[in-house]
Amino acid sequence: MHIKYILVSLAFTLLASWIIPTEFTTEDTAIHVPFIKKILTPELYEGDYIFLSKSPQAEISFYYLSLAFVSKQFNLTIKALYEYGRNIYFFLFFITLFVYSQKFFTRISIGMILGLIVFFHIPIGGTATFHLEAEIIPRALGMLMSLIILYLILTQRKRQGILFVGVAFAVHPLSAFYTLCLIGVYMLYKEQFMSPSRIIYFFCTILGLLIFLNLINFNLLSIDRFWLSIIRFRNSYAFLDLWNIVAWFNLLVTLVPGLIFLNQKKTRLHKWKFILRVTYFTAIIITFVHICFALIYPIDFVISLQLLRIWYYPTACSLACFAYYVTNYFKSRISKSVLLGIFLFVAVVFLSNKSNHTSSQWLEVGDWVSINIKKNCTFLVPFYSKGFRAISNRSSSGEFKDGALSFYSKEFALSWYKRYQDLHNWETLTTAQIGELSYKYHFQYIVESKNQERNLTKVYFNDNYQIYQISPLTICK
């Protein structure tokens, strides 16, 4: 590998670490970090309902086990583990971009422009995903592996690519599934075993058969409608009909450069045009499957696959086309350097207003709890707060973020939704009502805003939060 790729990737990694806000103990890491800590210290989170759910990362992948192993072997704190992992992920992501750029466009400058574009965290439609994630969550690692696998396939190293699919599946099964879909379409398309009309005919036939079976009460498409309503309420990003106008705008605008490139008759980049066609076509077919079996006749397995995230690939390819057009317009080195500087400046300004840092007062709450409260205690926290488990190493009676796991367990979905109904606005309840909830959900402490005063034993407070003990009789032992 050329030293130029390594040096430029290191530079972009430093920039990404500087300007992309960390999401440690917020967003998805609020769920992942406790699972890793639970492996390292089994007595943590005793009785926490979230550990009774099924999670792909906990059940069938090595993500949690691998990170726990690295943390233990190298004596790293979980925070340090994620900090190092985040930088390694950034480096591998950017070097992959630059290798793609050199291979298919013969210019690393296209990869550099594309690298700066992904700094902006442009949403991929309404899927709640980005091309460059802020942390080493399973999805981020899975998509990175997917890009590497596809590169191996595209460069005729099919055996290595297929073998690497197994590694991707061990980290993030859904990313591996998307990758296999793309590989299948690519290979069939390349060998001319398939045409768009044949694929559309096939899926229409299957759809017609399923509709017929459903009409004669074959019950092939039976689904738990209440579970479906919970999923649609909590995880609306997984349903095309629930996307808002901004999500549609983001997706369509992002796809425009690729559509222009596909309709460009005079081009020397035939290989990239073929790749672009495959990614667009695969995404359209997968979206058609989503419409059929997640919207019209829902099937729980199809819903759990979150098929709309297939649009990661055509949008990434389309943004590469945009970078190609930009570099063609600014041909001189000076103009390209100025352009890179402008992109970087705008990215810094843009992301400086999108910090996801946890407030210092919330961190102080977690630190105090982790030192002063027994490990088997459970807390009632503001339902829309994030990261209490990860910060405090103690159980939570429920948070909105927990609902993301509803995809993988109907029992958990019902449990979470019941907690949502009872707890999402518990701060407005009387002390007596909260006492009743403490018997139902087995929590011994509450954390709430300092503005609220209650006739309970206050054990801690800071500028923003305070902690009350519910009753000496229910104190955890």
Pair 161, 262 in one domain:
yes
Question: Tell me, what's the pLDDT at 351?
Answer: 55
Task: Out of 141-145, 345-349, 398-402, 441-445, pick the least confident.
Answer: 345-349
Query: How crowded is the C-beta side of 354, counted as CA atoms within 13 Å?
Result: 15
260 contacts 273 by C-beta, under 8 angstroms: no
Of 117-131, 277-291, 340-354, the one with minimum mean pLDDT is: 340-354
Whether residues 427 and 278 fall in one domain:
no
Own/partner contacts of 72-75, CB < 8 Å, gap of 24 or more, are 72/40
Closest Cα to residue 8, out of 100, 82, 115, 89?
Answer: 115
What tokens does 215 get? 């009409």
267 closest CA partner among 97, 96, 104 = 104
297-355 tens-digit pLDDT: 898 888 988 999 999 999 999 999 999 988 887 666 666 566 666 666 665 555 554 55
| Most confident by average pLDDT, 46-55, 128-137, 199-208 | 128-137
Give yes or no for residue 213 having a pLDDT over 50: no
Tokens read off for 54? 């099924």
Using the CB atoms, write b or e for 276-295: b if 16+ within 10 Å: bbbbbbbbebbbbbbbbbbe
Residue 21, both tokens: 């806000």
Domain end residue (candidates: 284, 318, 352): 352
pTM of the predicted structure, to 2 decimals? 0.88
Clarify whether residues 367 and 450 are in a common domain. yes
Q: Which residues of 29-53 are buried (b: 16+ CB within 10 A; e: fewer)?
A: bbbbbbbbbbbeeeebbbebbbbeb
The type of residue at 19 is: I
Compute the distance between CA of residue 428 and CA of residue 424 in angstroms, rounded to an integer.
Answer: 10
Q: Given 352, 386, 421, which residue is the final one in a domain?
A: 352
For 215-234, what is the mean pLDDT?
74
Judged against a pLDDT cut of 50, whether residue 386 lies above it is answered with yes
Q: Which domain holds residue 376?
A: 360-474
The reported pLDDT for the residue numbered 301 is 82
The whole-number pLDDT of residue 392 equals 94
Q: Are residues 391 and 467 in the same domain?
A: yes
Does residue 101 sit in the same domain as residue 225? yes
The pLDDT mean for the chain works out to: 85
Residue 7 CA from chain centroid, whole number: 28
Find the mean pLDDT for residues 244-253.
94
Q: Domain check: are 341 and 428 in the same one? A: no
Structure confidence at residue 164 (pLDDT) = 86
User: What's the total number of domains in the chain?
Assistant: 2
Q: Examine the domain organization and report whether 374 and 321 are in the same domain.
A: no
Last residue in a domain, options 327, 352, 377: 352
How large is the angle between the packed helices 78-105 and 63-73, nearest 10 degrees? 120
| Whether residue 255 sits in one domain with residue 124 | yes
Q: Which of 381, 174, 194, 396 is nearest to 277 (CA)?
A: 194
Report the pLDDT value the prediction gives residue 246, as an integer from 0 to 100. Answer: 93
Tokens of 347: 């990215």
Residues 72 and 94 in one domain: yes
The closest of 327, 433, 326, 444 to 381, measured between CA atoms, is 444
Query: Residue 106 region, left (φ>0) first, then alpha (ψ -120 to 50), else beta?
Result: left
Is 383 found in the same domain as 255? Answer: no
Could you tell me what percent of the chain has a pLDDT over 90?
A: 53
- Specify whether 182 is located in the same domain as 239: yes
Stretch 95-115: mean pLDDT, rounded?
A: 91
Q: What is the mean pLDDT of residues 158-176?
A: 87
Window from 117-126, 208-217, 357-366, 453-462 with minimum mean pLDDT: 208-217
Residue 222 and residue 198 share a domain? yes
Task: Give pLDDT, residue 157.
Answer: 87
